[in-house]
Amino acid sequence: MFALLLLVALLASRISAHGYVAYISLEHHVYEGFRNHNPNPSPGAIGHQFSTSDEGPELDVKSPDFVCRQNSQAPNVYGLVTAGGSVDIQWTSADLERNPNGWAHSGPIITYIANCNGDCAAADKTKLRWTKIHESGLISGPASSQGIWATDVMRDNMGWYGFKLPTSIAPGKYVIRSEIQAIHRSHIFEPEYYPGCVNVEVTGQGTDDLKDKGVVASELYSTEDTQLYGFDFHNGEREKFWPMPGPKLYKDTGHRNETTGCLPKYRSKQPGRNSTSPGIPTEY
């Protein structure tokens, strides 16, 4: 009986965190992401379409699907944002039975950006070079299930997290890649990655087009990253430190990147599943 209950618990833990990027607020102008349960997305939706039927994770970091989700396709639509402006992203789920209270699992949030070198809809996603512009991992407490992680804070903020786009980034068309990592299965070498991509057109006075920076998605992580592969999230005796995985954070010459998990304030009422008012940020 115990073995059966343990199996049920493990299976439940594998499916309970599924989700996607629902909305993106660029300097408080809200755009729709991609909701794969919605057959008629907004014409102004800037999220990349994908075919993952259950909103599940990507496990193979070398797969083309790791870039922006399974069979992802970029739209020919862009959200406008000024270099140095606010970017806020909301993660949610179409399955309210699976995720009644929003994102379930604890772990880090990492955000990347890549220059499309032209039209993002025509770009080869496997050749996009990703620069890390935001990261937030362990917020407080031990590096275990007993600690507070970035996704826990995001869940308490109605699924939103936010950061400032580096002021140094040059005008152009880019893809922002929001990535959530669920590390509850890292001890069996199976961390779960949830990428969500959106198109943006950057304006402003920045001069760094990032073309000589970043790495392709297949080089972001490896099985030698011990904080992802072999890390025991369920060990409550761990120290209060967890190193962020992936490349180094981009150093903006204009202002300091936000890396502490500091999030904007949001309106308190959670909108319904079909709401067009996603609870946008009100202030920083």
Provide the residue range defining the domain that includes 232: 2-265
Mean pLDDT to the nearest integer, 44-72: 93
pLDDT at 266: 41
What three-state secondary structure class fits 175? strand
Q: What is the CATH number of the domain that holds 109?
A: 2.70.50.70
| 284 domain-assigned | no
Domain membership of residue 194 (yes or no) is yes
Question: Any residues with CB less than 8 A from the CB of 58 and at least 6 apart, and which?
Answer: 65, 66, 69, 70, 192, 193, 194, 195
C-alpha–C-alpha distance, residues 257 and 247, integer Å: 14
Tens digit of pLDDT for each residue in 177-227? 999 999 999 999 999 999 999 999 999 999 999 999 999 999 999 999 999
List the structure tokens of 55. 């909103």
pLDDT in tens, 25-38: 999 999 999 876 66
Percent of the chain's residues with pLDDT above 90: 68
Is residue 213 a part of any domain in this protein? yes
Of residues 221, 225, 267, the one with CA closest to residue 112: 221
pLDDT tens digits, one per residue of 74-123: 999 999 999 999 999 999 876 666 555 567 789 999 999 999 999 999 99
- Count structural domains, the chain: 1
- In sequence order, which residues have a C-beta less than 8 Å from that of residue 246 and are 6 or more positions away? 110, 132, 135, 220, 221
Side-chain-side CA neighbours of residue 103 (13 Å): 31
pTM for the model: 0.85
User: Which residues face 39 on adjacent strands?
Assistant: none
Assess contact for 232 and 186: CB atoms under 8 A.
yes
- Tell whether 218 is covered by a domain: yes
